[in-house]
Every structure is written in C-alpha cells, then in structure tokens.
Amino acid sequence: MKRIFTFVTILLMSLLLTACGWTESIFGGDDNSIPPTELEDITESAKIHSVWSKDIGVGLDDAFVDLQPAIIGSDIIGVDREGQVTSLSLETGDINWQIELEMTITGGVGSGNGIIIVGNSRGEIIVLDVNNGTLLWKKELSSVMLSVPLIKDGILVVRTGDGRIFGLNTENGAQIWVYDRGVPVLTLRGNSSPLMGGRELVFSGFDSGKVVALGVQHGRVLWEANATLAKGRSDLERLVDIDGTMLLVGRVLYVVTYQGNIVALDALEGKILWSKEMSSYAGLSVDKGSVYITDSDSNIWSLDRISGKMLWKQDKLAYRKLTAPVIVGNMVVMGDYEGYIHIISQLDGSLIGRNKINSDGFHIQPQVDADTVYIYGNGGTLSALKIQ
C-alpha cells in the first residue's frame, strides 16, 4: 500500500509540474499556464556542432524520469523507459551491445565495480555486467528507484521513492544497512541522487528539504541540516523537495530545493555557510567561482560560490522547461522542451549560441566529458556535441 501511495503522489506532481494548466483544459476550463518565452534573434559567438547522434529507444516516453546515461571509460550507457539498455562508444556512437529488459524503467543508470544498475516500476533494481549487459542479479526493494545510485568500496547505495536509502553488497544484493527518512504526504516526481563525499560519506537530499550525511559503511547519520523549512498551509505550498543535482566542491556541499533555498553547507559538519531564496527542481552546476542554477521558472542564475551573492540572471528563456545547466569552458549549456541547446556566457549571462538538436525536447541534464557534451533527448536520441 505504501508503494502504491508514493507512486500516486509522485504521478500527481509530475502532471502538475509538466502540464501546469493542462488539468483545467481536460475538465473544460481554460489553460492559464504561462506560455514559454519566444526565442529572440541573437548574435552567435559560439557554435554547436554534431559529432554523432543515435536513437537508443523510446527515451523517457513522456514520463520525465531521470534516466541519466552513465559515462564509463570510453563508453556511454543509456536506458530507455521500456528497458532497452545500450552501450555505445563515446567517440563514434557505435553500439557495443544492446539488450531488452522488457520492463518499465524508473531510474538509473548507476555504475561502478564493473556493473550497471537500473530500477523498474516493480521496485526492483536490475544489476548488469558492464561489458555485455548480462544479468548478474536483481533485488526487490521497498519502493521504486527514481534516481541514479552510486557505488563505493563494494557497497551499492540506492535511494527509493519512499524515503529509504539502502546499502547493498554489490556482488549479491545482500542488505548491509538501511536508513529510513519517510516522505511528506505530497511530493514532486523524482529524487535527488545520492552523492559521495570523500571516502566515508554519502549525502542525500529529501522531500522535506533536509540534507543528511551518512557513513557509507554503516549507514549511520553523521549530521543532518535543513536546507529549507516548509511554509504555507496547504500540502502544495509546503512542497520543498530536493530533487535536483547536489554538488560537492572541496568541503562545501551545494544544494537547491523547490520553493525554498539554495544553500552552501560545510560537508563535514552540516553547518550552513550561506543561504539564498531559490526554487528549483532541475539542479545546478559549479565552477571555481560561481554556482549556476536553473530555477523552477527556467531562469538561469549565477551566484558567487563563496558568498551566494547574485552575479547575473538570464530570464530570456523563462518557462521553456530548461534542463539543469552544465559548464563547458567559459560557457553554460542547457537544453529546452523544444529540443534547442542554449549557450550562455559565464561572464554576464548573455545568450551567445543555440541550435535545435531534435523535436522531442530535453529533460535530463547534459553531461560533459573532455570537450564533448552528451545529451539524452526525451524521444530516445543520444547526441554528442562540440561547442566552439
């Protein structure tokens, strides 16, 4: 029953976020959602060049799940919503191997120790051999996996939709520890992925706006902190989920919440170093001087990494359902719902380039390896791009 309840609340919030006024039109009312900002002509000083593009399945299949491909050595491994797993060459896009799991996938791809991990709608995690996709083992957990798991020292760390984090033996799935945080009555679709800190810590953000540091070997709480506190009277107003990317730079952990704050935390003690009001479910990127965030209205912000002071805000892409940003050289890159890739200057936030890559749009944060950007489209196209 708990698993069904969690799924229903997650599905509800998925519809609210991705459709906005869609429910009104279904029941005969007017769609009053704010329309996406129209693209203006820009002077392009950066160009996007396609290296390769490959269809690897149905993609997200309108579910907007976080099926982030895994870059492993010279390969990239992606999975689609229907369970097709594909390993490709990073350089050429040639397929190394491909298998059909024939199941509905909800999260992944995790990787490490020679294995890859995906989760399905039955609450199972599926563990495959990274070299050929052979099934090694699977295990049913308490709820579905909606994020990307991680591996450290033979321990597989998996976050499930009911607020639990499991530490499992990577060889056979035996449970080593479990941490149970629970979830509020209403939550956004998805979870932030666990993040490794040094050799001993694993960080996780929860739907209550709380961040927890656990010992990776034993799962015990080392510290916990409130990135934000829920406000308002209704369950909808009190949504403060941490769903986007968390990042660790040195001993500073950066976390952003929906309808809450972006905070910088001391990763060893959990002390808040600075906090700024912000709402995001997409996530962020960090370089030596700045933090870049896509907020829930698809504005892009640059904040000083040390103080949290705003450096610039780019609002000419508002309501275009942007992905979280990534950093490429001195540029910030993200995709939108129409399939455009946008390039922003790190210096002042100006738009300096764009190109339409597909017609299905993007939801998943791009990835950068060396000087190449890899982005997985909603319709199942995985693209490798150079930006110059």
Closest CA to 226 of 210, 213, 246: 210
User: Which tens digits make up the pLDDT trace of 114-151?
Assistant: 999 999 999 999 999 999 999 999 999 999 999 999 99
Q: Is 1 helix (H, G, I), strand (E, B) or coil?
A: coil
pLDDT at residue number 230? 66
Residue pair 380/55 in contact by the 8 Å Cβ criterion:
yes
User: Which tens digits make up the pLDDT trace of 219-234?
Assistant: 999 999 988 866 766 6
**pLDDT at 260 exceeding the cut of 50:** yes
User: Which tens digits make up the pLDDT trace of 195-221?
Assistant: 998 778 999 988 878 899 999 999 999
Mean pLDDT, the chain, whole residue set: 88
**pLDDT at 19 exceeding the cut of 80:** no
Q: Which residues pair with 203 in a beta bridge?
A: 195, 213
Q: Is 25 helix (H, G, I), strand (E, B) or coil?
A: helix
Query: What is the C-alpha to C-alpha distance for residues 118 and 110, in angstroms, rounded to an integer?
Result: 7
Give the torsion through C-alpha atoms of 2, 4, 6, 10, to 10 deg.
Answer: 180
Residues 6+ apart with CB under 8 A from 234: none
Q: Could you please report the per-residue DSSP string of 59-120?
A: TTTTS---B--EEETTEEEEE-TTSEEEEEETTT--EEEEEE--S-EEEEEEEETTEEEEEE
Residue pair 342/356 in contact by the 8 Å Cβ criterion:
no
Q: Could you please report the per-residue DSSP string of 333-372?
A: EEE-TTSEEEEEETTT--EEEEEE--SS-B-SPPEEETTE
Query: What is the C-alpha to C-alpha distance for residues 9 and 146, in angstroms, rounded to an integer?
Result: 13
Mean pLDDT over 50-72 rounds to 92
Confidence of residue 259 (pLDDT cuts 50, 70, 90): confident
Confidence of residue 8 (pLDDT cuts 50, 70, 90): very low
Q: Is 275 helix (H, G, I), strand (E, B) or coil?
A: strand
Query: What is the C-alpha to C-alpha distance for residues 136 and 127, in angstroms, rounded to an integer?
Result: 6
